[in-house]
C-alpha cells in the first residue's frame, strides 16, 4: 500500500496541469510561449490570470493530495514523518521530471512542493508564503519571492515541527528549486530579470 501511494504521488506530480488547462481553455502553449515553463507564472503570462490561478491550484493539489493520503492512511509508525515527506518529494520530483514526457519539460516545483509541505509543516509554509508575497511584491519578480521563500523553508520547517526528516525533505526541495531557477538567478545578478506582467510574451 505504501509503495502504491508513493508511486501514485510521483505519477500525480507528473501531470502537466498548465499544459492541459491551456490546451482545453486557450490557444496558447506555455511550452512554446513566454519563458517556456509549464508553471502557473508562465501560464498566467501567456494564457491569462484565470488559467494561471487554475494551474497554481492544480499544482498545489498535486503535492497536497498524496501527502494527505499518507497522513491518513500510511503505516502508523511512519505516517507522521517519513511517508508524508517521501510523498511530498515524489510529487515534487514528478513535477520536475514528468514521466509522461520522458522526464523532460517539467516545471520549477514551487507550488507542488508548497502543496505537499503545507500539510506537514503548515506554519512553516505559511511563513514562507508571507516572505514570498513580500519579496515578489516589492521586487515585482516571482522568482525573487520563490527563492526567498525556499531559502527560508527548511529553517522554518525545523523551527515549527522539529522533524529532521521533514527538514531534510524541505532542504532537498529547496536545493532543486534553486537549481531550477538557475537562469533566473543569472538574470537577477545581471539585472535583466523581467518584472512579472500578465500577457507578456517573452521573458
pLDDT digits over 116-154, tens only? 999 999 999 999 999 999 999 999 999 999 999 999 999
Confidence band for 76, pLDDT divided at 50, 70 and 90: low
> What one-character DSSP code corresponds to residue 24?
H
Name the least confident of 100-104, 112-116, 143-147.
100-104
Tell me: pLDDT of 97 over 90. Answer: yes
- Residue 11 in grid coordinates: 505519477
- Sequence-distant (6+) residues with CB within 8 A of 190 are none
Q: Does the pTM of the predicted model rise above 0.75?
A: yes
Give me the pLDDT at residue 188, please.
95
d(CA 60, CA 112): 5
- Sequence-distant (6+) residues with CB within 8 A of 90 are 6, 7, 9, 10, 13, 66
Three-state DSSP at 202 gives strand
Select from 191, 59, 195, 98 the least CA-distant residue to 138: 195
CB 109 within 8 A of CB 29: no
Amino acid at each position: 500500500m505504501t509503495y502504491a501511494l508513493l508511486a501514485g504521488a510521483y505519477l500525480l506530480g507528473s501531470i502537466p496541469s498548465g499544459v492541459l488547462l491551456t490546451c482545453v481553455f486557450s490557444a496558447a502553449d506555455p511550452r512554446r510561449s513566454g519563458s517556456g515553463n509549464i508553471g502557473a507564472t508562465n501560464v498566467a503570462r501567456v494564457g491569462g490570470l484565470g488559467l494561471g490561478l487554475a494551474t497554481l491550484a492544480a499544482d498545489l493539489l498535486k503535492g497536497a493530495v498524496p501527502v494527505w493520503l499518507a497522513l491518513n492512511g500510511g503505516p502508523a509508525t511512519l505516517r507522521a514523518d517519513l511517508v508524508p515527506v517521501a510523498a511530498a518529494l515524489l510529487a515534487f520530483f514528478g513535477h520536475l521530471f514528468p514521466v509522461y514526457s520522458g522526464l523532460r519539460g517539467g516545471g520549477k516545483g514551487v507550488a507542488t512542493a508548497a502543496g505537499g509541505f503545507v500539510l506537514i509543516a503548515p506554519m512553516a509554509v505559511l511563513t514562507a508564503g508571507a516572505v514570498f508575497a513580500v519579496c515578489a511584491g516589492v521586487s515585482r519578480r516571482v522568482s525573487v519571492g520563490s527563492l526567498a521563500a525556499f531559502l527560508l523553508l527548511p529553517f522554518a520547517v525545523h523551527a515549527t515541527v522539529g522533524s529532521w526528516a521533514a527538514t531534510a525533505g524541505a532542504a532537498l526541495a529547496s536545493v532543486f528549486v534553486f537549481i531550477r531557477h538557475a537562469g533566473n538567478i543569472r538574470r537577477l545578478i545581471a539585472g535583466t530579470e523581467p518584472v512579472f506582467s500578465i500577457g507578456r510574451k517573452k521573458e
